[in-house]
């Protein structure tokens, strides 16, 4: 059983037109069109876990105000099992004024620090031995310094999304700060120092999320892995932290290895930030099924397009690796590439069946493949399975050569047409 404990809040969006400035002050005037409401904080984490199919109970506190009643109404509609205290003075509410098109004008927060006892009393009442406890702490007063200690006495497995001092979470099984929070605690990330801090605070696992740089995962045995996932386009990072914690908790609940759970969480978070608004993780978002192919792709031709279209049919996401400009020059000579890496990347992303493009500096993409961990690698018929970089990591599929299409030959023909006296330049490779 998974229990979520922490600060719940109400998220409200007031959406409208903002096409004129106020005569009273240099601020836009928002003409309200409609309002939207959603469950935030610990409630959003609980909803994400429930969406993945795990049984979850939310333990938190609301106020006896209209925002609290609205929050209770939303929780009831979601059919989420709750144990809610009602001794909060004010329900934490975050109101965003948003112009149509998504432009945020201002955020207005309404909150009062919680000092009551009912939330902690309910926590101690409903926690059972071997429960997985996700502590969703936003520093609103629900999570106290003795909270984790009380949970440890119940022999529960405690996962923490922190906002307060590291000492608040002494003895937790897993702690998940973002990089800014980690550096505020301990300074610049360093694996050896991170291990010392884990020993000092009696943590078994430390997961540090680092935005586009992925996540660092370290356990008390000094076993370390770094995970990252390419993102086609960041639409909204709101809720990405809840996604990570929800998938890790789900993974533990299903008996997954923690590293595997974190790898899956990293992938799921990358999919969530591609969606606009606060998105709830779905089972479909956990289906990695990544296909990889790579090359220079200096001039896209029919052979490339046929290979890429085929690769797209083999999985859920197609990630294409391209050699950096410096890498191309080392492999194919100073006259290449014809198009710079950013233009090559842009051209590939314009294809509807390419989900992301990764530029790698090395002569081979082995390190990138090792980090992304694709399920399938697709290469052209001039390769064999044994010669494909990454064949020890993923299944390899060889796509037959399309005769009559070669980037090198195309470039040479263009050069000769431009100058018939041009002596052929010996290009290394053909892609």
How far apart CA 174 and CA 245 sit, in angstroms, is: 10
In the prediction, which pLDDT does 130 show? 85
How far apart CA 231 and CA 138 sit, in angstroms, is: 27
In the prediction, which pLDDT does 57 show? 95
**Nearest partner of 298 among 403, 381, 409, judged by Cα:** 409
In the prediction, which pLDDT does 429 show? 45
- Sequence-distant (6+) residues with CB within 8 A of 108 are 94, 95, 96, 97
193-224 pLDDT tens trace: 999 999 999 999 999 999 888 899 999 999 99
In the prediction, which pLDDT does 427 show? 43
pLDDT at 233 over 90: no
Q: Give the pair of three-digit tokens for residue 193.
A: 């120092």
How far apart CA 123 and CA 121 sit, in angstroms, is: 5
Question: Of 7, 137, 242, 355, which one is the catalytic site residue?
Answer: 242
**Nearest partner of 216 among 371, 321, 45, 362, judged by Cα:** 371
Of the given ranges (38-47, 105-114, 281-290), which has the lowest mean pLDDT?
281-290
Cis peptide before 9 (omega within 30 of 0): no
Tell me whether strands 224-227 and 290-295 are parallel, antiparallel or unpaired: unpaired
- Annotated catalytic, 165? no
What is the number of H-type helices and E-type strands within the chain? 13, 18
- Sequence-distant (6+) residues with CB within 8 A of 387 are none
The CA–CA distances, whole Å, from 284 to 240, 248, 264, 404 equal 16, 16, 12, 40
Contact of 305 with 352, CB cutoff 8 Å: no
Percentage of the chain modeled with pLDDT above 90: 65
Residues in the chain: 431
- Cα within 13 Å of Cα(367), Cβ side: 8
What is the per-residue burial (b if ≥16 Cβ within 10 Å, else e) of 145-168? eebbeebbeeebbbbbbbbeebeb
* pLDDT (mean) for 96-124: 90
**Could you tell me which CATH number the domain at 2-286 has?**
3.40.1190.20
382-394 pLDDT tens trace: 899 999 999 999 9
In the prediction, which pLDDT does 408 show? 63
294-316 pLDDT tens trace: 999 988 888 899 999 999 999 88
Task: Indicate the angle between helix axes 191-201 and 179-186, nearest 10 degrees.
Answer: 70
133 — pLDDT class (breaks 50, 70, 90): very high
What is the per-residue burial (b if ≥16 Cβ within 10 Å, else e) of 222-238? eeeeebbbbbbeeeeeb
How far apart CA 420 and CA 413 sit, in angstroms, is: 10
Q: Where are the domains of the chain?
A: 2-286, 290-418
Neighbour-count burial of 135, counting CB atoms closer than 10 A to its CB (0-12 exposed, 13-18 middle, 19+ buried)? buried
In the prediction, which pLDDT does 223 show? 97
**Could you tell me which CATH number the domain at 290-418 has?**
3.40.50.620
129 — pLDDT class (breaks 50, 70, 90): confident
How far apart CA 381 and CA 243 sit, in angstroms, is: 40
How far apart CA 129 and CA 138 sit, in angstroms, is: 25
How far apart CA 380 and CA 401 sit, in angstroms, is: 6
Phi, psi angle pair for 330, to nearest 5°: -65, -40
In the prediction, which pLDDT does 425 show? 46
Q: What does pLDDT average to over the chain?
A: 89
3-state secondary structure of 217: strand
* pLDDT (mean) for 87-114: 91
């Amino acid at each position: 059983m998974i229990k979520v404990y922490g600060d719940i809040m109400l998220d409200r969006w007031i959406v409208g037109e903002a096409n004129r400035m106020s005569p009273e002050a240099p601020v836009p005037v928002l003409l309200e069109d409609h309002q939207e409401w959603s469950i935030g904080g610990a409630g959003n984490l609980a909803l994400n876990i429930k969406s993945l199919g795990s049984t979850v109970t939310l333990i938190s506190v609301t106020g006896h105000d209209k925002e609290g009643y609205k929050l209770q109404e939303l929780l009831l509609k979601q059919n989420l099992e709750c144990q809610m205290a009602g001794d909060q003075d004010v329900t934490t509410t975050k109101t965003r004024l948003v112009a149509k098109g998504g432009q945020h004008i201002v955020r207005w927060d309404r909150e009062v620090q919680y000092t009551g006892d009912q939330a902690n009393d309910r926590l101690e009442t409903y926690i059972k031995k071997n429960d997985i406890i996700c502590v969703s702490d936003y520093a609103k007063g629900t999570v106290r310094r003795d909270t984790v200690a009380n949970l440890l006495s119940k022999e529960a497995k405690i996962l923490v999304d922190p906002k307060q001092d590291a000492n608040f979470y002494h003895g937790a099984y897993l702690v998940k700060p973002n990089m800014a929070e980690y550096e505020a605690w301990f300074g610049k990330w360093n694996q050896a120092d991170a291990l010392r801090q884990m020993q000092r605070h009696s943590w078994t696992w430390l997961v540090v999320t680092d935005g586009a740089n992925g996540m660092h995962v370290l356990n008390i045995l000094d076993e370390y892995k770094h995970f990252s996932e390419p993102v086609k386009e960041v639409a909204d990072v709101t809720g990405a932290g809840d996604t990570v914690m929800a998938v890790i908790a789900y993974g533990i609940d299903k008996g997954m290895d923690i590293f595997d759970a974190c790898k899956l969480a990293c992938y799921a978070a990358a999919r969530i930030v591609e969606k606009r608004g606060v998105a709830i993780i779905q089972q479909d978002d956990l289906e990695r099924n990544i296909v990889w192919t790579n090359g220079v792709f200096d001039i896209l031709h029919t052979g490339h397009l046929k290979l890429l279209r085929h690769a797209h049919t083999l999985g859920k996401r197609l990630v294409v690796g391209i050699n950096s400009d410096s890498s191309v020059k080392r492999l194919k000579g100073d006259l290449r590439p014809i198009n710079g890496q950013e233009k090559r990347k842009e051209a590939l992303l314009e294809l509807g069946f390419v989900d992301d493009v990764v530029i790698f500096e090395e002569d081979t993409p082995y390190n990138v493949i090792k980090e992304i961990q694709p399920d399938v690698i697709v290469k052209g018929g001039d390769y064999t399975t044994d010669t494909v970089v990454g064949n020890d990591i993923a299944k390899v599929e060889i796509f037959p050569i399309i005769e009559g299409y070669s980037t090198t030959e195309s470039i040479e023909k263009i050069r000769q047409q431009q100058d018939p006296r041009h002596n052929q330049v010996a290009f290394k490779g053909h892609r």
